[in-house]
Amino acid sequence: MYDDSVLSLPRLAVAGLAAVVGWGCSSEAPRDTTQVRVGLRFDYPTPNELIAPPTLAYAAINNQLYLSLMEEQGDLRDGPLPWAPGLAEEWEFSEDRLQLTLRLRPDALWSDGQPVTAENVRFTWLAQTDLDVAWNYASSKESITDVEVIDARTVRFHFSAATGTQLDDIAPDRVLPGHAWEARPFAEWRSDPGWFFEHLVTSGPFRLASRTPGSELVLERNPDHFEAGLPRLERVVLRTAAESTALTNQLLAGELDVVTGIGARDALRIEGQPGLRLLAYPNRQFTFVSWNTTKPWFRDPQTRRALALAIDRQAIVDTIWHGYAQVGGSPIISSVWAHDPDLKPWPHDTAAARAELAEAGWMDADGDGILERGAVPFRFELATFAGADARWEAMQMVQADLGAVGIDAQPRRVDPNALIPRLMGQDFDAAAFGLAIPTNLDLGFLFHSEEAGSFNYAAYASPEVDRLVDAFASRHDPLEGRDDLRRLQRILHEDQPILVLWESMSLVAFDEELESVAPNAVGPLVNLKEWAWRE
């Protein structure tokens, strides 16, 4: 999942602790303590997550409106995340682990007063796997052969194989209101996303009170929510802007109470401001360049390693992140339990890059300053999402570094809605974006050869990587797969289908009179229902 407004990784040496800086005293101006105003860069074109943009910001919002079967707890430093009850109050595997039976809580209601039932769970699975719906993450359901309704509160998942990802394959998905949405044929879902606003039925701690497309969402407390005393706020006003700096300006002007996804330069503006606190916390994201290995420039690992040597990632991090990031060396980032601590990023070495390129057959035979191999000049488009300021600035630096070794990279900003289909269809040269690794660390979606044409944008294929991905996914205890994941990281380090640029921290700033603001690797609004103003 990608989100232009979310960053990743610790700035301080104390692992697992968020950095909080507080200043001054809060303003004495009266405030409405029944609500909070949050700045968050988001796109919310539909409440139906199966046809929505796969971003962390979207998920953060939808998690307030729809409940999951289970909820992830904690962070990823010490091991896999445990699951806590959500809609499911208890669950049990069969002895062979091919069946998982869940019991739904009796007091979970839809906003139309109907109970959340096992039929809703089955409907959600049918929609997730329907070819017309074409959900981005449908492959995560491949091992589920059936979802059986035992009674109104009991549902049983049937699996084709026992693996270590069975809970992860079902637990985090928001359950959809089948009783309200089944009237719309699956084949028509994508053609009319606005229909779901007209037939809005929710189950979460908040309800959608109003919506101004491209500008604002207002959430209101769900009076029927089953957790006593929650949410603590009556309303949450979510505001967005094309650039994160605009949200920071509104925070500094007193027009917002909280801003998430703050850039490092804006964080410097916030530091020292009375009445505000700045929180820096690890997350699951890394930013990288995906090389399309079907293109002539990126087919061989030696050339891709040369690109890693040519790009001065430390200079990028120092220039853009001001201490809130570090150079990345693996898609399993260093704040995650399975990261290989012995794996070091390729250093910046222009001379070594030139030597590797020459050995790989790249020469400037015509003297125009651009390398070529055969009749193919080393000239390509380097795309990134429009509005991603940090990545755009980084792309200018990448362009300069590659130019120094005779490679002509042309940065281009592309609207996400246009770029994502191109990525999936391998209709691109190279692209830079951010990705949140799945908490179950199953990286098959990104590197397995069977995922080419989907999220394996690089069209990377390695039999050994396929084997390691499959081996890890088959383990009941993910901790037993640590060696598989370390071997996987070393192969990716040598093959370089993607170049990890940086891991950065997520930054959020908020009024110091707000309490219980505690974002984590799961998302920036993970405990929104607990936020409140101090009395």
In this prediction, residue 28 carries a pLDDT of: 53
Fold of 67-188: Dipeptide-binding Protein; domain 1 (3.90.76)
Q: What percent of the chain has pLDDT over 90?
A: 77
Whether residue 49 has pLDDT greater than 80: yes
> Between 233 and 169, whose confidence is greater?
233
Q: What is the pLDDT of residues 441-462, one digit of tens each?
A: 989 999 999 999 888 999 999 9
Contact indicator for 514, 251 with CB cutoff of 8 Å: no
What the block records as the tokens of 161 is 């194989």
Q: What is the pLDDT of residues 369-417, one digit of tens each?
A: 999 999 999 999 999 998 788 899 999 999 999 999 999 999 999 998 8
pLDDT band at 243 (very low <50, low <70, confident <90, very high): confident
pLDDT band at 17 (very low <50, low <70, confident <90, very high): very low
In this prediction, residue 352 carries a pLDDT of: 98
Whether residue 18 has pLDDT greater than 70: no
Strands (DSSP E) along 269-385, which ranges?
276-281, 285-291, 325-327, 372-373, 376-377, 379-385
CA distance 535 to 305: 57
What is the number of other CB atoms lying within 10 angstroms of the CB of residue 42?
24
Q: Which helix (H) or strand (E) holds 198?
A: helix 195-198
Q: Is the pTM of this model over 0.85?
A: no
Q: Which helix (H) or strand (E) holds 83?
A: strand 83-85
Contact indicator for 382, 394 with CB cutoff of 8 Å: no
Whether residue 22 has pLDDT greater than 60: no
In this prediction, residue 77 carries a pLDDT of: 82
Contact indicator for 397, 348 with CB cutoff of 8 Å: no
The dihedrals phi and psi of 313, each to the nearest 5 degrees, come to -70, -30
Domain limits, the chain: 1-66+204-282+506-535, 67-188, 285-504
What the block records as the tokens of 504 is 């950065």
In this prediction, residue 29 carries a pLDDT of: 58
Fold of 285-504: Dipeptide-binding Protein; domain 3 (3.10.105)
In this prediction, residue 520 carries a pLDDT of: 86
The dihedrals phi and psi of 364, each to the nearest 5 degrees, come to -95, 75
Alpha carbon dihedral 372, 375, 378, 382, in 10-degree steps, equals 180
In this prediction, residue 149 carries a pLDDT of: 98
Query: Which residues share a beta bridge with 457?
Result: none
The Cα-based distances of 300 to 106, 361, 459, 496 in angstroms read: 57, 11, 13, 9
Amino acid at 1: M
Amino acid at 346: W
In this prediction, residue 16 carries a pLDDT of: 32
Mean pLDDT of 69-82: 83
Amino acid at 480: E
Q: Any idea which residue has 């896999």 for tokens?
A: 80
- 83-92, 164-173, 453-462: segment of lowest average pLDDT: 164-173
Amino acid at 214: G
- 207-211, 272-276, 436-440, 468-472: segment of lowest average pLDDT: 436-440
CA distance 439 to 33: 35
Whether residue 12 has pLDDT greater than 70: no
- 67-76, 273-282, 322-331, 347-356: segment of lowest average pLDDT: 67-76
Residues 6+ apart with CB under 8 A from 203: 65, 66, 67, 87, 108, 109, 110, 111, 116, 175, 177
Selection from 234, 196, 244, 252 nearest residue 57 by Cα: 244
Complete DSSP assignment for 486-505: HHHHHHHHHH-SEEEEEEE-
CATH class of 1-66+204-282+506-535: alpha beta
Q: Any idea which residue has 């170049």 for tokens?
A: 499
Mean pLDDT of 282-304: 95
Q: What percent of the chain has pLDDT over 70?
A: 94
CA distance 9 to 324: 8
Contact indicator for 49, 174 with CB cutoff of 8 Å: yes
The Cα-based distances of 104 to 108, 110, 119, 171, 173 in angstroms read: 8, 13, 11, 12, 14
Whether residue 78 has pLDDT greater than 70: yes
The dihedrals phi and psi of 495, each to the nearest 5 degrees, come to -80, -30
Q: What is the pLDDT of residues 130-164, one digit of tens each?
A: 999 999 889 889 999 999 999 999 999 999 998 87
Mean pLDDT of 229-241: 97
CA distance 360 to 363: 9
